[in-house]
Structure 1
Amino acid sequence: MLLTISAAAVIAFIQWINAQRQLVSTIGALTNSSQELFESNKEFDALLASLNAAKQSKMAAFGVDPNLRTRIEDALKDAVFWVKEQNRLEGHLAGVNSVSFSPDGQLLATRCSDGIIKLWDVTTGDEIRTLNGYTSAVNSVSFSPGGQVLATGSADNIITLWDVTTGNEIKTLNGNSVSFSPDGRVLATGSADGMITLWDITTGNAIQTLHEHRAGGNSVIFSAQGTLASVHADGTIELWDVATGQVMKTLTGHQAQLNSIYFSPDGQVLASGNADSSITLWDVTNGVEIRTLPNEDDGFIDSVSFSPDGKLLAVAGENRLIELWNIASGEKVDLEGHTERIVSVSFSPDGKILASAGWDSTIKLWDAATGEEIETLTGHKFQINSISFSPDGKRLASASNDRTIKLWDIAPRNEVISLDSDRVGDGVSFSPDGKLLASSVAIVYRNQTGMIKLWDVATHQEVATLIGHDHWIRSVSFSPDGQWLASVAWDGKIRLWDVRACVEVTTCEASAILESKSGPYLSSVRFSPDGRLLAASNLDWENPQNNTIQLWDITTGMTNPQPIAVLQGHTNNVNSISFSPDSNRLASASRDQTIKLWDVTPGQAPQASQTLKGHTAPVIGVSFSPDGQRLVSSSVDKTIKLWDVATSKEITTLKGHRDGIRNISLSDDGQLLASQGTEELILWDVEALSDLTLEELMKEGCDWVSGYLKNNPNTMNSDRHLCDGISAFEPDQSSPVASSVPALPPLPCNEPLPLPLPAQQPGYYKDGEYYGSLEKTLLPSGQLTLLFPSGDRYDGEFVNGKRNGCGTYMFASGDRYVGEFLDDLFHGQGEYFGKDGQLYRGEFSEGKYQGMGELTFANGDVYRGEFSEDKCHGQGTLMLADGTSKTGEWQNGNLVGGSPNDSCNR
């Protein structure tokens, strides 16, 4: 008997070890998946994958090796930092055609080609209600200005008014186009028979009917000032005085049928979209055509949008271009970038950003002032049909044929000032007091010499020009006291300039010139913070011995510095250098993919002390943190790395650039890092990212995806509980009662992926193939699948025909258990996922909750403590979703001495 028990124990131990190995393998696969998704611009999906990897790493009995943990942290940091998609609203069964924010930005109405309208809570992603009743496509959705009423119009000429609060239908009207008056009291409807009806929203009664049309009308729209415009099938537009019911102006002259009309924000201009792809602008006051904006590329126009100030008009459609028109001048800028038809354009409320969406499944954000593309938001699987900014401009909603509505977080981008220069600059440096800015010229034309310009930061005026270099100026640096400026160029000269003297004469030459001893190609120059040393780096592709850092002692006078050392050690170009704040160390970044630290302490010969390796391409930039404890480096490998100077270990890697990073700059307090790529500038909160632990990153990530996990109907049940216990309320472990509830041990079983079965015949399956029937004489052992006649399914370990060991039991009802089994019963450690949204994780005995466990309810409440016979029984804490908690002794599911509401019997 003893031998039998020992053998069983050995088998169980081996199985447990194999399960741990499988768990670590799964964690690695999830981490790889997160990194691949991130590289594919699917940051939201990358965040979900990295959170899953991080959570499962907590379940590994022996933890994960340091390299894998670092990879998990890096993947989670990348996703947390770069995720823009804030939520996914899924639930429509057909393509989503349009989205509309309520005036307060709290609700989102979506319409679908199947006639379904859904209302969503923008903050949480909750689907609040579904509005049914249409048998044909809904072609118009509009909130009243107060947000209390939603009007929807359909292709079968039915308009329905809905109470947004209750979801009840208020009234049904005839028509296919709707528009609310600015005060929300009147609703105008247009119909195919040419009738325009004005309705009193309060009573639901018709106020008057406008009969001027002689044929079918297409659409009606109110201006912000209350003027009503209607489109006539023969190409005319009529402007109505709603108070009198009289036509004020008739706009004629269109040579083609009209598709749509749009008022400018001030109501002074009306834009009409024509079937010939042109746009006509009208002066509303006098009814005169201002101009026609031709569409030279032809193609159907799908969307038109005025900027909030009414100065710009964006037009997009079939030709894959966005035409950005200046209303006053008639000038046009074409914005190119989409690869398929563009179906929606929308300006942000402040007018700074233009958003566009197309059939290429992308949303692009453009700088409305310059026409430059700021960002591309990807994540939809199929064509995007509509986009809309929230009123505060902080979010963007997009609707797609993939049946999802995505909410995106839009980060603010502000430019303070632009300094105009007649030639291109390659380097900039602020004086220590921040009053002056030095900019160098990178490109030399014919006989022109390289120059440096000094700018007054307060007035933005040029105050001096420094001349003398006759080649590419690569770097400039102010001395610690701001009295001197050093510059290096590819002419082999280090020039020193007296800043005060140069400002006084406006144009000046260098006060001193130093000759490079390591070739002409100088790349970087820096003063030590204590004013003791001047360092200059070299690069030389043909002569590796010239890839050095030269040091001068400047305590002897700036006009007579003394060379003291030439530092050799890099095997390729030295691209940049940086002194530590205490001036005792110098860091150098090289094309040889390394960073070297040099000891330049006073009183001893300078020498190499450390080499930092980790980049996979040339290192371009390097900079010490203000406290000197960290080092930041940037590389052609598109990453930024933070290093611990004392240990030479890498702290974290920042990703996000689309190409190699040319320059980096740390703010004086070390909180912000600016990194410059070929066409992009990124600001990083370095301290926040580098100081976040894995647990804090998980909290950040879970806070971001909590709405999606809780409310999205397509979320897998196991994923729905991904963040349980992470972003929810946790008890104060300093409490003597709370500390008496021990943490749950890691689960010994990892959920296996169910193999697809060749048939649904009840019986045993092995490796996905039919193995045998349910006959009692068949007593299989090993890893098998058992399919029951009821539709239940078990995947896991068998011993002599019974479920023993690790496995997954999936009920036909939708419930699922993952964990340990003994003689066909749940026994040991496991998780039980209920179809009602409850999750139990902990100890089981003979199929019931027994021992220590944690029960998470569908509403977010969590009980952690002791259980008996499926009930909370013993010492435990009930943590409510509102942040409060109930701790004490529990009996049969109720808190001893508590109120009737203090119960976990649900």
Structure 2
Amino acid sequence: PEKKDLVEEVIERFTNARLLVNGVDADGNPYVEPAHDALVRGWQKLLEWKQDDEENLLLQRRLTPAAVEWNSQQQAKFLWHANPRLDLLKKVLNSENNWLNQVEAEFVRRSIARKSFNTRRNWGVAIAVMLGLGTGLVFSLIGQRDALIGQIKADRQAAEANLELSQELEASLASLRAAKSIKTEWILQLLKPNYELVNKVTVTLRTMVYKTREINQWNGKIVPKIGNNISLNSKGELMLAETNKNGNITLHNLSQNNYVQLEEHKGVIDSGIAFSRDGSLIATADQAGKIRLWNLEGNKITEFFTEFSDKKLGRYSPTLVFSKDGKQLAIVELYFTGSLGFRMIDTISLWDLSGDKPRRKQPSQNFESYKGIGFDANNQLVVAHTDLGGRSSDLHLSEFLSGKKLAVFKRNFEGFESTNLIFSSNGKQLIMFDRLAALDNQYWHENIPAINFTPSGNQIFYKKDSGIIGIANLDGRSLFEFKAQQGRITQIAFSLNGELLASAGTDDTIHLWNLIEKQLIKVPDQRAIQKSNIFGTVSNSINSVFKKEDHLFGSLYVRNSSGKLLFKTDSKKQNPYDAYSLSSDGTLLAALDSDSVHLWDSSGRHLLKFKAYENESIDNNKIMELKFSDDSSLLVIEQCDSIDYSIGDCTPFKYFQLETLDELILRGCNWVRDYLENNPNVEESDRHLCDNVNK
């Protein structure tokens, strides 16, 4: 009513001003219109109103008859639930400037409700269809997977049958088909086959590889024992450099579980290997006196000879030390003089690595009373030595290049072995002979053990013979300790940020520790986990292996916990085995005699015999033990004292790494490759069996 009165007042005023005129149409209905069209065209404000509401006016002209028709028919088909203008009308309905009348407003509400209902119904139908299709797809995939697994089982059984008939070629093709299907069929990558099937296929392929005459030889890796060269690179990854009897070096990235070979050596010396502080460079020295620099990818960067590498000098024992910035390399070379070779001299040289090729910074210096070297906080090489004239046994620290005397520590150091000098970041303290020393008062703290500084330099790390590592204040007060190794610690390495610590010990294990969280970080390499976690008991279903001394003297019988005989070996050995072990999955039995390792499969078939020792020195007073790792990937020979043997505490002597399924496929393919490529009678499905297997 208020708006009606206002409209009538406006019309009256406009009419009195002769801007509007009143009239009646043919049906007798009153109307109002502008007195002249020019008034409309010239009235700018009215034009703006008209333009602003033009869309609404057009919409209203279409909406009104539709709403009236729906109101009279009351049927859903007249609603605007499918009209694209419904969203705009919904905004009008919910706005303050709602120009809809009662019928139009109800029409819009019913249209919105109908659209919502249809949307829910359509989604329900769509979901039902998708579920139906998805279920069908899943069942289809499962069906394909089951069919493929059935084919794999058939191929494996065919391989086993051909092995029994000594038809090695047919057995090879069938076992390779089964193994390749497991490794390459996409559906089995999506829907994994069970472990039992993969295990059986691996056993069959391994049996084929080991039983085939042309390829019946040990091809697993002989894992070298852990040396004393570990490092943490700039990424915090654990690196290990190992030497073998041929003088080659294997560089392991234990965090990534891969390795590269550093070739070209002639008798690498264990002491002649060093990592740079950030772990990005490796320096090596061989018995010919050649120094080589390598990157972590195993690429040789440069090489050079030192002047004191003459073979006539007899025993040659170099020590390599990088500066903290990795731009210098100090080399300490030990050799003997005199006709009887009883006089020992250490020669020190310093090399600049920042140029295109290494450059000696100044002539080498000889030290008959050398005790150690190290780089200070300013990357200056410092040498520790007793009095060169032999007048006292005090320890002198001098800068190598300038000869400047830095400190003298008053004590008898004559009988001490050589040491690394480790300087704190502030240059006020250093560590030598595993003890803390102060440079300002030139005092060596015999009662404060230390092996390195924390990054801040305000605390120290120390170790104990029992395998414990601790952190202490500079006054020696311990803050906390943790058990790092089961035996004596032989080497420790720190990451650049000081958050990670790697330790190696006489128990032949390497551990990686997070010092911030005080937690052990598991490293993929088997040997980097505590021995108690590596070599455990076998599974519950197969847990007893023993010798039966009857007419099959020396044969091995395998029984389960109930005493049921599972299998026995077919060997008629005249002498008993020294040791034996069953893999945790029950697929391999290993036995050790005086010089060889024997392998049998779970049916008792003898697979392989290979040399257990290659020029290693065997202590006849030791008891030899044989064990599989928990995942059956490693076989270890252990040496045990009689006392240790009774409590199961033995020292690993030699490791053998068994071949993976991929490696077995490679060996099998290498044997049948020529046959597949050149024999015209090969089925087309088999001809490309090994195409994507690298030679």
Q: How would you bin the TM-score normalised by the shorter chain?
A: 0.3 to 0.5
Larger RCO of the pair (alpha carbons < 8 Å, separation 6+)? 2
**Structure ID, larger Rg:** 2
What TM-score does the superposition give when structure 2 sets the normalisation length? 0.40
- Give me the TM-score of the superposition, normalised by structure 1: 0.32
More helix by share: 2
